[in-house]
Amino acid sequence: MESKLDLKALNANKNVRMRNYWINRLKGFEFNNYFQDNIRTGVIEEYTVVTTTIPAIVSEKLDQIANSLSAKRVILLAALGVLAKKCSSVNDVCAFVPVSNAGRLTTYNDIIPVRMNDFSEFNFPRLVACLSQNLSKDYENSTYSLRAILNLNNQDLQGISKVGLQIEEEQQFSGEDALNMELLFSFSFSSGLQLKLKYHQSKFSDNYIQRIAKLYISLLQRLLNNKQDVIKDIEIISPDEKKIIMEDFNNTSMPIPGDATILDLFKQQVKIQPDRVAVQFNYKTLTYRELDLKSNQVANYLRADFDCQQKVIGVLLDRSVELIVAIFGILKAGAIYLPISKSYPPDRIAYMLHDSAAQLVFVDEENVEIPGNIKAVTVNIASNAAEAPCNYAKPDGIAYIIYTSGSTGRPKGVLIKHVSMLNRLCWMQNKYELQPGDVILQKTPLVFDVSIWELFWWSMYGAKLVLAEPGAEKSPEQLCNLIQQEKITVLHFVPTMLNMLLVYLKEFNKGYSLHSIRHLFASGEELKVIDAQQFLDYYPQARVHNLYGPTEATVDVSYHEVLASTQYHSIPIGKPIDNTSLYIFSKEQQLQPIGIPGEIYIGGD
């Protein structure tokens, strides 16, 4: 009886010791997705395998360094840790491995997590030595239940992202029943060195897995041949792929009129079709000629009464035809327009006007008090000014200033040149070919840079602008009525508002005919796959475009057309626009391979 009690006490002490070991071993660790494929395959089968033979030059080098399967396992596992880090920019990675029991099929209790962290400053031999030491201790404590190690139940185990590694001659997972691995790196030495990537088809495409296999093999070769290289300095991108990114993907050079601004293209349309309606708000319209003359009056008023060349003029106006007159007039005067929202607190408005040294503010009504004692006028003040042609805008001059929230909490003014705005709009025309019969809806508040193409694109190519009532941008019903009534062909939605529109259409089936829409652009937030696909289901004649870009880069820097035939995991931001370059770098400032995430860097002329 005493021996049984002693044995029970010993086992209890052993469990406490192992429990404490794993608590310390995994302290602070969080599971992450190290490998992410953007395209859903649509395949419902569980597993498939991609088999790649590792070149003899690599396997022979491995044989020279390691003369046992267990030693090879450590090296191959260390290389997987480096790849997981490089592909995810995560510095703390984990792979699941079977406990070393030859010929034994593994269950939950025969699997352990192997953590690899804080090795960026190591070279590969040091990482291997450290991993070997840790792995030895992990195996000593491997009889502790995996569920207990991770403090997870069966359902939670299935919910975490799991990457594993095994040597087939030494260990075998019992297939997908063991831990439901998303991605398993399985190595076989029976006929040369083979890498078999077993993966969930619902998570990864065959093309993506083949790319991961190539990345692993090329990385392994470099780690074995350049043992003294510090891991943080190692690039995983191949020279050929780097060339594709640098010379093909970013080959965006496109000429734009070097001595022109958007006002010059607008003037061409005034000559071509002076009597075509240019702007409409409710039942009030302006033709191209009328807009030209009225904006000339504003410009001449500003030039006569103010030193306004490259000076800031505030715009605190609701959507109206007068809004467009004011903005065009400000630009023609060679000044800079500053959009201000009526919803801003007085302190914010005062700060923006002071920081920008604004000369004047256009308002809707007379006798409006503006913080900072800056003069406020209505557009009507220019009604008696000369209608003579006036255009002092210069390509290298500043066109507008938009204040963002600022990382310090104070608004930050972003200055955008005419040439940058022209480049952005010329790209849009080259890509989407706005026609004179098109009708653009202007509903984005002016304080957001998306409003730029709504405000100006139409004017350069003879189309028409319809302005929504103030507040209509938040009302799906008003927007549906306006789109149907005015036969809107081009419009923008923040994805949240697009979702609200779709919910409204589904819940209040009023038979709206929105089939006039040719182009729907989305930006400002992540565009959800389900929303884009639902919109295309409703209106298959339309094209949906996902745009991305920070304010500092003139509205958008990349684009992607959402295709109904593609099954997305998430919608990509796409390719760079004209005269713009995009790069994805790791945290170590290294160019990432195609399809591997990182931090986006933007370049351009």
Q: Nearest 5°: phi and psi at 244?
A: -60, -45
Q: Could you give the residue ranges of the DSSP H alpha helices within 26-96? A: 56-65, 69-88
pLDDT top residue among 589 and 3: 589
Task: Return d(Cα 240, Cα 234) in angstroms, integer.
Answer: 16
Q: Which of 30, 188, 187, 36 is nearest to 113 (CA)?
A: 30
| Residue 389: pLDDT over 60 | yes
Residue 81 has pLDDT above 70, yes or no: yes
Residue 3 scores a pLDDT above 60: no
* In contact, 185 and 212? CB cutoff 8 Å: no
Token digits for 187? 């190595």
Structure tokens at 49: 């395998």
Band the pLDDT of 271: cuts 50, 70, 90.
Answer: very high
Q: What is the pLDDT of residue 175?
A: 46
Tens-place pLDDT, residues 312-352? 999 999 999 999 999 999 999 999 999 999 999 989 999 99
| pLDDT: which is higher, 242 or 408 | 242
Strands (E), 189-311: 194-200, 277-281, 284-287
Is 176's pLDDT higher than 50? Answer: no
3-state secondary structure of 210: helix
Mind listing the pLDDT tens digit for each residue in 195-217? 999 998 888 888 899 999 999 99
Q: What is the mean pLDDT of the chain?
A: 89
Least confident of 161-165, 171-175, 429-433, 450-454: 171-175
Q: Alpha-carbon distance 155 to 343, whole Å?
A: 48
Query: Which string of b and e fits 478-502 if b means at least 16 CB within 10 Å?
Result: ebbebbbeebbbbbbbbbebbbbbb
State the average pLDDT over residues 148-156. Answer: 72
Give the C-alpha separation, 377 to 485, whole Å.
33
HSE on the CB side for 47, CA within 13 Å?
A: 15
**Encoded tokens for 10:** 């010993």
The stretch 256-277 carries a mean pLDDT of: 95
What average pLDDT does this structure show over 282-305?
97
In this structure, what token pair is assigned to residue 345?
């607190």
Local confidence band at 108 (pLDDT 50, 70, 90 cut-offs): low
- Contact of 75 with 142, CB cutoff 8 Å: no
d(CA 404, CA 412): 5
> Cβ contacts of residue 143 below 8 Å, gap of 6+?
18, 109
What's the length of the chain?
605
Angle formed at CA 75 by CA 73 and CA 79, multiple of 5 degrees: 115
Whether residue 179 contacts residue 99, with contact meaning beta carbons closer than 8 Å, is answered with: no
**pLDDT (0 to 100) of residue 144:** 84
pLDDT band at 551 (very low <50, low <70, confident <90, very high): low
Instruction: Please report which confidence band the pLDDT of residue 297 belongs to, taking 50, 70 and 90 as the band edges.
Output: very high
Residue found under tokens 């410009």: 299
